[in-house]
Structure 1
Amino acid sequence: MRHDDIWRAIDALAAEHGLSASGLARRAGLDPTAFNPSKRIGADGRPRWPSTESIAKVLEATGTEMESFAGLVTGAPTLHNSSRPNPGRRIPLLGLAQAGSEGYFGDGGYPVGGGWDEISTPELSDPNAYALEISGDSMEPVFRDGDTIIVSPNSPVRRGDRVVVRTARGEVMAKELLRQSARRIELASLNPAHPNYSFDLSEIAWMHRILWASQ
């Protein structure tokens, strides 16, 4: 069990209930900043783990069994405690390496064309949500080869969010938003072996928030 897997499971649980990580913490009666990205790493740079008490409160607030949460840690969707099954919905799926090619996204950054596959997901509030399959090791340890990330074009993007960015030159990358001003954005690479990036806003075609990832 890895540090990133636990936090990813919390993000996934929040997304499945239509909440941000802050909203999930608030529903559980915790400090709204308890699950913020800045709280996941200590001042000394060492990973910080959520407490067992925090996880217990989150599971109680969402009506989620521990077995279901453990499934999310390994990338499985939550097993909802409802007598009526949740069918979820199907969303477009594309390999990240293909996403920079023409014909897959419209001018607004939404999925278009017939070259997409599909996957089933829990119900998402964004009708334009889509999925990208990670290939290679350039985004480890956060996202690994074969992981599928769920992306929401219509979710607000805040500092510290993990995002998919497409540049005006057609490059597509998954990064963390460090900061955004009226003229520039700064992005942190998920793999520490890769450099960070800074762009003028005019160089960015679109930037979409990553909601969660599954294996």
Structure 2
Amino acid sequence: MRHDDIWRAIDALAAEHGLSASGLARKAGLDPTAFNPSKRVGADGRARWPSTESVAKVLSATGTGFDAFAALVTGAASALSHGAAGRGGGGGARRIPLIGLAQAGGEGYFDDGGYPVGGGWDEIAVPEIGDPNAYALEISGDSMEPVFRDGDIVIVSPAAPVRRGDRVVVRTRKGEVMAKELRRQSARRIELASLNPAHPSYGFELPEIAWMHRIVWASQ
């Protein structure tokens, strides 16, 4: 477990509740600057952990269980096992658009900003997610095994911050859509990795990328 994993989970929890990191801190009764980037690094330049007290307060304020938070830390949470009833049902769960990863490369499913549009989407019932533009994709292929397998469903949040090491969905300006891990991003270029070593990694200049969104949940 890395420092970045914990901070990323806090950022994801904030995004799921429609909050910034400072808004989440405020909701938990903490100093609004508690989760600022400057607080994530010590005076000596070394990465810092959030305190267990601050994490406990955040979980209490958002009604999040430790298991759900741990799943955010690993990036392999099971969205459909936390109160959702799958594609057909869901009780009080929210419904979001669902499409196949291969189909997502077609025209008419996303606007220029990468938000889901059009009438060709299915729907899926999921636990409440703060991002109103969140959507779901069904994974195809084995390039992300063993984390994501063919047929798994991932939930993607355009509003969630993206950092190195995150699993992301990327669409190129040529219409290619892929689920990968962000290995590196500079001012000019991004590098994406397939988790399955049998598949290649990719590099793109930023002008080649239409959008990149973070995967925040995955069914397993």
TM-score, normalized by length of structure 1?
0.66
Match of 1:146 in 2: 151
CA contact (8 A) 1:96 1:134 kept: yes
Match of 1:78 among 82, 93, 97: 82
Q: Secondary structure at the match of 1:99?
A: helix
2:173 matches 1:168 = yes
**Aligned counterparts of 2:135 and 2:78: Cα–Cα separation in 1:** 21
Contact 1:86/1:122 (8 A) holds in 2: no
> Please, what TM-score do these two structures have when normalized by structure 2?
0.64
The 1:94–1:73 alpha-carbon spacing in structure 2 relative to 1, beyond 3 Å, is closer
Query: Structure 1 residues 18, 212: closer, same or farther in 2, change over 3 A?
Result: farther
Q: Contact conserved, 2:180 with 2:195, CA < 8 A, in 1?
A: yes
**Which of 112, 115, 123 lines up with 2:128 in the alignment?**
123
Letter of the 1:78 counterpart? H
Query: Unaligned regions of 5+ residues in structure 2, if any?
Result: 29-34, 36-55, 85-89
Amino acid across the alignment from 1:131: A
Offset, 1:86: 8.0
Amino acid at match of 1:144: R
Which sections of structure 1, spanning at least 5 residues, go unmatched? Answer: 1-6, 33-56
Aligned-partner SS, 2:137: strand
Amino acid at match of 1:89: R
Write the distance in 2 (CA, Å) between the matches of 1:140 and 1:187: 15
Alignment of 1:102-121 (within 5 A): 102-121=107-126
User: How far apart are residue 87 of structure 1 and its match?
Assistant: 1.8
State the number of aligned residues.
177
Distance in 2 of aligned mates of 1:211 and 1:102: 24
The equivalent of 2:215 in structure 1 is 210
- Describe the superposition over 1:104-140 as per-residue Cα deviations: whole angstroms up to 9, x where unpaired: 1111111111000001111111111100011222221
In the alignment, structure 1 residue 187 sits paired with structure 2 residue 192? yes
Mapped contact 1:130–1:150 kept (Cα < 8 A): yes
Candidates 159, 163, 169, aligned match of 2:164: 159
Pair 1:123–1:63, CA change in 2 (3 A):
closer
Deviation, 1:91, is: 0.5
Q: Aligned runs of 1:88-99 on 2, under 5 Å?
A: 88-99=93-104
Task: Tell me: CA distance 1:115–1:165, structure 2 relative to 1, closer, same or farther (3 Å).
Answer: same
Structure 1 172/74 Cα, relative in aligned 2: closer, same or farther at 3 Å?
closer
Q: CA deviation at 1:63?
A: 5.8
Structure 1 consecutive aligned stretches of length 4 or more whose deviation exceeds 4 Å: 13-20, 60-69, 71-75
Measure how far apart 1:65 and its partner are: 6.7
**Aligned in 2, Cα 1:182/1:118: closer, same or farther, shift over 3 Å?**
same
